[in-house]
A = this chain, B = another copy of it.
Amino acid sequence: MLSHSQIRHITSLKQKKFREKYDEFIAEGEKIVLELIQSNYILSGIFTTIPGTKACVEEAQEKRIPVYEITNREMERISGLSTPGPVLAVVKIPPAVVTSQSTLIRSSPIDRRTSSLLLVLDDIRDPGNLGTIIRIADWFGINPIVCSENSVDQFNPKVVQATMGSIARIKVFYRDLVSFLKEFQGTIPIYGTFLKGENIYTSHLNPSGMILIGNESHGISADLHPFITTRLRIPSFNEQPGAESLNASVATAIVCSEFRRRYIL
């Protein structure tokens, strides 16, 4: 049985200030929890409504992660989902990600020598979008992702959920994007997605570069525009006036797909 303080602790992790206080976040669902167990993340505990038969409970026990059997009622209390699954994990936020500035900006996350793409997200606010973008990055082998400091927290439960386990593999850093882009200016192409720009299907795309994705409503902030070397546009094929834009994660998917299609095949 869970104590009141355990329940209070776990539910507090739905809020960013408590995730920062305890350096922990929650992840739900068998697939996501299993992938976290198999990753470098350290799990503080696993809470399950189903006794030891499930794959992730077995793996957790092998790795000496404490497993707590709880009732459905208790799961409903600690879960953030409207229909809770059978497994919830409390996971340590790795120290590298906690480190907020300085150190990591020096160990630049992009390798200037090899073909590599980097996703840079300016002020993505919707947790579903960030989670979906992390999953897209995982699919297209783009790692890490750099977010502006006002973007939604990667350890927000809805982000973790939408990554479908990709959170276990993709690193996400939060940076002041003006100083971050300044550091790379002139060394690597910086692509930005806009409603007006070069047609992405016919434009020259470098195998290495940064892909800058803007906020859901306002696009890329004006103070980042000077750093952009190529403005790309996903052309609309609607002959009548139609959709004015694509969802941020959908645009990211199309752009990543087009960059990868050109250079890895």
Contacts and interface: CB of A to CB of B under 8 A. Distances in A.
B128 A243 contact: no
Q: For chain A, which range describes its interface: under 10, 10 to 19, 20 to 34, or 35 or more residues?
A: 35 or more
A140 B237 contact: yes
A113 to B, nearest CB: 17
A243 B236 CA distance: 28
Interface stretch (A3-11, A67-75, A178-186, A246-254): A246-254
Contacts of A110: none
Contact of A246 (B236, B243, B253): B253
A135 B247 contact: yes
A237 B139 contact: yes
A40 interface: no
Contact of A264 (B138, B237, B260): B237
A70 to B, nearest CB: 25
A242 interface: yes
Interface string A200-244: 011000000000000000000000000000000010111110111
Given A132-B247, A140-B236, A250-B250, A201 B261 contact: yes
A236 B201 contact: no
Given A136-B246, A243-B164, A247-B132, A236 B141 contact: yes
Interface of A: 128, 132, 135-136, 138-141, 162, 164-166, 169, 199, 201-202, 234, 236-240, 242-247, 249-250, 253-254, 257-258, 260-261, 264-265
